[in-house]
Amino acid sequence: MTTTATEKFTQIFTQIHENYGSHDWDGSGECPNHWKAKGGTTYILEDGVNVDAFIKAIESEDDYFMEKVRHQEVVEDPYENVESWDPPTFVTSASDGFFLDVTQTAETSSLHPKIAVKKSVTCLNFEGYYNHLETVYTTVDGEILGSSKIEAWLKANPSR
């Protein structure tokens, strides 16, 4: 009897808070606290990603900002529990941390009317530091534009 293993994905949902009390803080004494929820991120970890190491890398807290995991779940369909308007961040393993891949489409984001897809890849190391690698834009005509060309393209293609 032959069985095939079903691929599993770990979904991690975070909550971000910003401390509005820190905006006028002069840095002396204790920072005033006035935390406000500011959304969060849905991460989809590919099979084989070290979940505990990833959580340690993304969770952070200081006087100004915090991101904490509010829920995690293992699923077979990576889009299960994901809102259609909120593109998830796909996570794969890297030698020194993780690759984070976000793909936004015209249906899920307020992109320029002639931009069909925006794809960004970032590296997150094990200590929680981010290094942006590349953002690539695909136009509705199929043209692929890197970060170095998008500004000139936008000037040549006004949205109105």
The tens digit of pLDDT for each residue in 62-104 reads: 999 999 999 999 999 999 999 888 899 999 999 999 999 999 9
The whole model's pTM is what?
Answer: 0.85
CA distance 130 to 69: 18
Is the pLDDT higher at 30 or at 71? 71
The tens digit of pLDDT for each residue in 96-128 reads: 999 999 999 877 788 889 999 999 999 999 999
Alpha carbon 114 to its chain centroid, in Å, reads 23
Q: Check residue 1 and give its pLDDT.
A: 59
Q: Give whole-number Cα distances, 37 to 20, 67, 91, in Å.
A: 10, 10, 24
Q: Check residue 21 and give its pLDDT.
A: 87
Q: Check residue 11 and give its pLDDT.
A: 97
